[in-house]
A and B are shown apart, each in its own frame.
Chain A
Amino acid sequence: MSKKLQTADGVEHAVSRKDMTRAQWVWKEMKTNKTGYFMVAPFMIVFFVFTVIPVIMSIFLSLTSFNMLQPPKFIFLDNYIRLFLDDDIFITAVKNTLIFAVITGPTSYLLSLLVAWFINELSPKIRALVTLVFYAPSIGGNVYLIWGTLFSSDAQGWVNGWLINMGFINEPILWFFDKKYVMALCIVVALWTSLGTSFLSFIAGLQGIDKSYYEAGAVDGIKNRWQELWYVTLPVMKPMLMFGAVLAITGSFGFGGIVTALAGFPSVEYSCWTITHHLDDYGGQRWETGYASAIAVLLFAMMIGANMLVHKLLAKVGQ
């Protein structure tokens, strides 16, 4: 009997399963366990209305031409064809999103893991303090705007002022408004705010590892902390690694808000234009809802695809 079909009390019922079709059995189970549905219903109704159904709606709308005023007109794959063949800015957006995701995703993930691992052996009080220092930028609202002040385009900006004063440059650099620097700066700011929930999850995961694993590892001939990390620590905390990876991927592909706040909308010559920006542009400003839905569906597919890929990679940990 599969797990799903056991009843809450685990007691076998008088009527054996063999007397019924599968549908009858499931229906009977549903009636016996209706409390379960009552408990999850309030949450699930909200979750379906504002998350699950919108995903399905987006997929449907992406196949239509729709402007919120006239009824949607079915045009099959035209939106997707237009995106890839007739929209250079979208191609730029895909390229930038991939650059952001490939750099910030793994870097913030490894940084969270390394810092969590390094502070694991500190005394609890110091560990709590270091955790706060690293975690605070990710929850401090729009505190990242301070990077705009530090790297302000005029000589009053701290970085420009310092460089001019030291004689490295004569003219202030336009940092967030210069094609050469804006991408790198946005990546740095993104990393600065990226030690979030996955970081806390890693800290907790490391704290929860039973010390006997390390002792057994040492007996089995593990020679240094790096071997210990790879062969003992990481395999034990694989579930946390999965959870952290999911959050890192979601964060790095959904990147865009920081760029808008610091480098403007659009950023200079679309140098930091991401898929999120393209989506805002067509969905929130031009009201080309069908076209914007196609963008949303592609972003959704990229995020889910990246998750599946990383899932496969993480299966190799400790081997």
Chain B
Amino acid sequence: MSKKLRTRKHQVVLNRSVGGDAGITFFLTIMGIFMFLPMLYVILQSLKPLDELWMFPPRFYVINPTFQNFSDLFSLMSDSWVPFSRYIFNTVLISVVGTAGNLLFGSMAAYGLSKLKFPGRDFLFNLVVKSLMFTSTVTAIATFITMSLLHWVDTYLAVIIPAFGSTLGLYLMKQFMESSVPDATLESARLDGASEFYTFWVIAMPMVKPGWLTMIVYSFQGLWNSGSSIYIYSEQLKTLNYAIGQITAGGIARAGASAAATVVMMAVPILVFVVSQSNIIETMGSSGMKD
């Protein structure tokens, strides 16, 4: 039986028909346009001068691009009741501290769950997996009560501390450690008299750099995009995303500035992803869930 064997630039591919390739290319192109056009439209809107924003019929692309909307955004920011730098400070503080805590607590737990053996370990990991199966909306009310009991309502702690216990990052790190840190290496460190924490920090952690980067990106994305929280009332504690939402809510008159704001807010997580993409994909290589 002869097999159709086609080569592509970088690999030999079996069982591929030309018709199939064409169909797939067509489907991908259509889907790609569907995904990309709205993103492109935000960027174009942010570059449109006022008269083009109100042109009829509305145009998709921009004729005379300008950065006016971005400078409008900055002057709107300087008019706000709470200095805008305070919102930026809040978002940076929450994102940085929350991410650092999640990375430290999460990778310690990932190490414990993947490389140490103790009664109850499988039970704890099962709980973590179960927690991926529901959203935090389910626990919001009870968490609010907990926050009140702790007197954490309307403090940074209410937003930062729960981020330390975010389970998706831990899950990915645990799976990644299991597949890429050899037990023998840890064992020889232990035989040399290294403490368990030293083994974790100096031996295991440098081996899972893509794992950290993935945890950082996930935690950062979530915290950076966090808007108004039910645990925060004070204007002084609110985030950049919330403040930008207020500008966007200013309605029609601020269409240009709000498009500029959206572009600024989306640029940060997207750039972070572009820089870390290959590491994240490497970490995801072990993300599978065994029964």
A interface, CB within 8 angstroms of B:
3-9, 26, 29-30, 33-40, 42-47, 49-55, 57-58, 61, 68, 111, 114-115, 118-119, 121, 123-124, 128, 130-137, 139-143, 145-147, 149-150, 155-158, 161-162, 164-165, 192, 195, 197, 200-201, 203-205, 207-208, 211, 214-215, 217-218, 221-225, 227-228, 237-240, 242-243, 246-247, 249-251, 253-254, 256, 276, 279-280, 283-284, 289, 292-293, 296-297, 299-300, 303-304, 307
Contacts and interface: CB of A to CB of B under 8 A. Distances in A.
B62 to A, nearest CB: 13
Given A44-B109, A46-B161, A55 B138 contact: yes
Contact of A149 (B139, B164, B255): B255
A57 to B, nearest CB: 4
Dominant SS among interface residues on chain B: helix
Nearest to A155: B56
B269 A141 contact: yes
A275 to B, nearest CB: 9
Contact of A61 (B138, B142, B230): B142
Contacts of B281: 131, 200, 203-204, 207
Nearest to B187: A9
Contact of B58 (A51, A111, A136, A158): A158
Interface residues on B, range: 35 or more
A47 B13 contact: no
Interface of B: 1, 3, 8-11, 13-17, 20, 24, 27-28, 31-32, 34-36, 38-39, 41-42, 45, 54, 56-58, 60, 104-106, 108-109, 111-113, 116-122, 124, 127-143, 145-146, 161-162, 164-165, 167-168, 170, 190, 196-197, 200, 218, 221, 224-225, 227, 230, 241, 245, 248, 255, 259, 262, 265-266, 269-270, 273-274, 277-278, 280-285, 287-291
Contacts of A50: 139, 143, 146, 161-162, 165
A133 B141 contact: no
